[in-house]
Amino acid sequence: MAEAEEAVQAARGRKASRETRRQQLIEATIDSLAKRGYADTTLADIATGAGLSRGIVNFHFESKDNLLIATLQYMADEYVDHWKGAYRRAGARAADRLWAVVAADFDRRLCTRRKLAAWCAFWGEAKSRPTYQALCGARDDAYQATVEALLAELKAEAGYDYAAAPLALALCAMLEGLWFRLMMGDGVTREDAHAAARTLLATTFPRHFTAEGPRMA
């Protein structure tokens, strides 16, 4: 029994080690994309940034393309899990949910110059790389569909004079634009960008929001 227990623990340790190494390499890839851009990121840069050998990179991912796809998948999953978690925690009201998913875009855990620069690096390559386009598109489509459904609920509740689909597109495009401004580092802060988004919600949906938050039911 003792030997079996030791074998199980050893297997778990090897699995944890593999997951740790993979995560180190993904984080180093994000760092390199943010620092050097897509074209100038190399496996040597990533290995050095992770404090690992080139052989370890090849062992876990086999190629630069595989590592980049894994990095984009990780970022896309992280983003979706984050805003969906905010949506679930917000409660049943559409106004609370919309406020929460917009705020999630400016959470300090995801909205950093480092991660925004990595996103921009992938977006720049998406047009010519179908895998990137599919991953980025799936992330954007799910978010926009959720926003559209919430806007339809707000319209039904308050009789706003808009069509939900084009307004959802406009709102999502505005959020993406704020991310670009933050990535460019032109003086706009994360707090400034979030305040701009809150102001837009309050102005567009005055029966549901003030600039400070959703109105009480």
Kindly report, residue by residue over 168-190, the tens digit of the pLDDT: 999 999 999 999 999 888 899 99
| Torsion angles phi and psi, residue 210, rounded to 5 | -110, 175
- Average pLDDT over the chain reads 88
Kindly report, residue by residue over 138-161, the tens digit of the pLDDT: 778 889 999 999 999 999 999 999
What CATH homologous superfamily does 1-62 map to? Homeodomain-like (1.10.10.60)
Q: What is the mean pLDDT of residues 52-66?
A: 86
User: What are the tokens at 4?
Assistant: 């079996």
* Kind and range of the H or E run holding 38: none
| Domain parsing of the chain, residue ranges | 1-62, 65-212
pLDDT at 47 over 80: yes
Q: In sequence order, what are the beta bridge partners of 209?
A: 214
Residues 6+ apart with CB under 8 A from 107: 82, 86
What CATH homologous superfamily does 65-212 map to? Tetracycline Repressor, domain 2 (1.10.357.10)
Q: What is the mean pLDDT of residues 30-36?
A: 94
Tell me the pTM.
Answer: 0.84
pLDDT at 16 over 70: no
Report the sign of the C-alpha dihedral through residues 148, 151, 152, 153, in that order.
positive
pLDDT of residue 138: 74
pLDDT of residue 132: 83
